[in-house]
Amino acid sequence: IHSDEERDSLALKCADRSYNIGKSKSYLDIRKIVKIAKQGNCDAIHPGYGFLSENPKFAKLCERKGITFIGTSSRMIKKLGDKVEAKKSMLKAGVPVIEGVREDLRSKRHALSVARRIGFPVIIKASSGGGGKGMRIVAKEDDIFNAYGSAKKEALNAFGDDAVYIERYLEEPSHIEFQILADKYGNVVHLGERDCSVQRRHQKLIEESPSPALSKELREILGTAAVNAVKAIGYEGAGTVEFLLDKSKNFYFIEMNTRIQVEHGVTEMVTNVDLVKEQIKLAEGAKLAYKQEDIKVEGHAIECRINAEDTSNDFAPCPGTIINYLPPGGPGIRISSSCHAGHTILPHFDSLIALLICHGKTRQEAILRMKRSLDEFVIEGVKTTIPFHRLVLSKRQFLKGRVTTSFIENNYIMQELKNLKPKKDILPKDKKVLIVTTAVSQYLAGKQQASNNKSKINPWVMAARQESMNEGSFEE
Ligand code: ADP
């Protein structure tokens, strides 16, 4: 499916069949999407990692209409989507959670009394939260009423639910999350962890696996805790159990994501397991193809999210047309992107241009490959987060693997970014007009070709897709 605004997208050009859902906001119109799926004889929907991937109403509607939602059940999405409920379930499963209330706050006075009990600093968080929205760190009593009011307001705007809760604020923790796969028969494995401590405003920017913050023993303890928690709640499908690790190496559950995450490619690079393929097989009712001892984490992978954002202006989104696009390559380099010269980054959606993942035998090799890839990656026409990533990868603290969630603020990286001189464009200005014109005419030629081939799905493509789903130890 595509929206009016995405008529020029590469995905649309490559698709065997496509359906227009209208304006971009229709991606939230669950009835419309399910109706189109029915029209197109779809027997399953993969919700990706945006918009509806964690919407229990969407999953429920699919279930009711006999379409397999490739993800966990609507009941489970609902249970884990409420962070307070999720914490209660984890506590029952014996997983440590951060001290705080396990109920939504009733009033600002309630917030104050809880904060006094657990001690400052505290953090107020949205119960339906995500993407770091609706969070307020409160260092002292005087600020709690204001923070409570503004967190509630932001939560209502972002999630249509103003429920907030409170917990102890951990100073300089690491964010460590475990990828898990679970089948309908109670089998669960974890595929190691991802360290997502490089964050700005509680949003992830760089992810890596394995985490430099974990020893072998601690990895074993956290991984077992994640698997046991998932078993205890009866979760099915792919999911991520997120923890914070404090300076004394105590760990606490913060939330469970019930979708495939943006950063899942990092795990795929070190485990060689195709997570989306496994998701589809699990949704079909297959038995898990792996036992824990089959999962081998090999080498090290790092991901940088390349967004169309102006890093010298507080990461403001920078939509526009890409004029020159030359991605890096070589051993161990993976790029997930649908961008090309002539592609327009739309203001309606996330500003992601590309996910750049580098794998190496060691962390050092992965970093060196990432540095080279960032230097070679040419994206002209829009501002990108590449200068930010280059700066982070030059920092001693990052190189030593001692990053915590306060790393960006503590290193004055935002200030340093403002003073960076922009890299010179490769293409001279007059050539750019020519390139865009060429890209557009190539696109139009492709579109003509695509419309000539419409409804003729290449049998080779279909056979290859079928084969790739059937290989390995898939049990029917
Ligand atoms: P969201 O769902 O909005 O992404 P999370 O609960 O997953 O929120 O937390 C996102 C980030 O916010 C964490 O990785 C961490 O940096 C910070 N954070 C959340 N809770 C705490 C806490 N109690 N103490 C310190 N930092 C926290």
For 265-349, list the strands marked E by DSSP: 300-307, 309-310, 316-317, 320-321, 324-326, 333-337, 344-345
Hey, whose CA ends up nearest to atom 6 of ligand 1?
Answer: 254
Distance 78 CA to ligand 1 centre (A): 20
Contact 312, 386 (CB under 8 A): no
Pairing of strands 122-126, 300-307: unpaired
365 vs 385: CA distance, rounded Å: 22
Hey, whose CA ends up nearest to atom 18 of ligand 1?
Answer: 202
Residue 317: asked if its preceding bond is cis (omega within 30°), the reply is no
CA 212, 216, 217, 221 dihedral sign is positive
Q: Which residues are within 8 A (CB) of 196 and not within 5 positions of it... i.e. 6 or more apart?
A: 175, 176, 177, 204, 206, 207, 263
Helices 74-81, 56-64: axis angle to 10 degrees equals: 170
- Look at residue 104 in the predicted model and tell me its pLDDT: 87
268 vs 275: CA distance, rounded Å: 7
Give ∠ CA 212-268-50 in degrees, rounded to 5: 100
- Look at residue 330 in the predicted model and tell me its pLDDT: 97
- Look at residue 160 in the predicted model and tell me its pLDDT: 87
- Look at residue 128 in the predicted model and tell me its pLDDT: 87
Q: Which residue has the tokens 């999405």?
A: 77
103 SS3 class: coil
DSSP state of 319: -
Distance 214 CA to ligand 1 centre (A): 19
DSSP state of 213: T
- Look at residue 138 in the predicted model and tell me its pLDDT: 97
Is the minimum distance from the CB of 81 to ligand 1 under 6 angstroms?
no
Is the minimum distance from the CB of 258 to ligand 1 under 6 angstroms?
no
Distance 202 CA to ligand 1 centre (A): 6
Hey, whose CA ends up nearest to atom 14 of ligand 1?
Answer: 175
User: Residue-wise over 79-96: b if at least 16 C-beta within 10 A, else e?
Assistant: bbbbbbebbebbeeeebe
Q: Which residues pair with 125 in a beta bridge?
A: 165
430 SS3 class: helix
CA 187, 191, 196, 197 dihedral sign is positive
26 vs 137: CA distance, rounded Å: 35
Give the pair of three-digit tokens for residue 253.
């559950």
pLDDT in tens, 206-263: 999 999 999 999 999 999 999 999 999 999 999 999 999 999 999 999 999 999 999 9
Q: Which residues pair with 354 in a beta bridge?
A: 306, 337
287 vs 290: CA distance, rounded Å: 9
- Look at residue 476 in the predicted model and tell me its pLDDT: 31
Question: Exactly one of 136, 194, 219, 259 is catalytic; which is it?
Answer: 259
- Look at residue 270 in the predicted model and tell me its pLDDT: 98
343 vs 10: CA distance, rounded Å: 8
Element (H, E) at 157: helix 144-159
Element (H, E) at 39: helix 30-39
CA 297 from centroid of its chain's CA atoms: 20
- Look at residue 429 in the predicted model and tell me its pLDDT: 66
Contact 152, 181 (CB under 8 A): no
Give the predicted TM-score (pTM) of the model: 0.90
| Half-sphere exposure (Cβ direction) of 206: Cα atoms closer than 13 Å | 28
Q: Which residues pair with 232 in a beta bridge?
A: none
Q: What is the mean pLDDT of the chain?
A: 91
- Mutation choice for ligand 1 from 244, 251, 261, 408, CB with most ligand atoms inside 8 A: 244
Q: Which residue has the tokens 């994206």?
A: 379
13 vs 248: CA distance, rounded Å: 52
375 vs 377: CA distance, rounded Å: 6
125 SS3 class: strand
CA 272 from centroid of its chain's CA atoms: 19
Is the minimum distance from the CB of 202 to ligand 1 under 6 angstroms?
yes
90 vs 228: CA distance, rounded Å: 10
446 vs 215: CA distance, rounded Å: 51
- Look at residue 436 in the predicted model and tell me its pLDDT: 63
For 85-214, list the strands marked E by DSSP: 122-126, 136-138, 164-168, 174-182, 188-200, 203-209
Is the minimum distance from the CB of 177 to ligand 1 under 6 angstroms?
no
Per-position pLDDT tens, the chain of length 476: 999 999 888 889 899 999 999 999 899 999 999 999 999 999 999 999 988 999 999 999 999 999 999 999 999 999 999 888 999 999 999 999 999 877 889 999 999 999 999 999 999 999 888 888 889 999 999 999 999 999 999 999 988 899 999 999 999 999 999 999 999 999 999 999 999 999 998 999 999 999 999 999 999 999 999 999 999 999 999 999 999 999 999 999 999 999 999 999 999 999 999 999 999 999 999 999 999 999 999 999 999 999 999 988 889 999 999 999 999 999 999 999 999 999 999 998 889 999 999 999 999 999 999 999 999 999 999 999 999 999 999 999 999 999 999 999 888 898 898 888 777 777 776 666 666 666 656 655 665 565 555 555 677 777 776 666 665 443 33
Residue 348 phi, psi (nearest 5): -75, -20
Would you call 194 a catalytic residue per the annotation?
A: no
Q: Which residue has the tokens 């070190």?
A: 270
Is the minimum distance from the CB of 98 to ligand 1 under 6 angstroms?
yes
Contact 271, 297 (CB under 8 A): yes
126 vs 119: CA distance, rounded Å: 20
Is the minimum distance from the CB of 367 to ligand 1 under 6 angstroms?
no
pLDDT in tens, 41-83: 999 999 999 889 999 999 999 999 999 999 999 999 999 998 8
- Mutation choice for ligand 1 from 125, 196, 199, 262, CB with most ligand atoms inside 8 A: 125
Instruction: Quickly count: other Cβ atoms within 10 Å of residue 387's Cβ.
Output: 19
Distance 380 CA to ligand 1 centre (A): 34
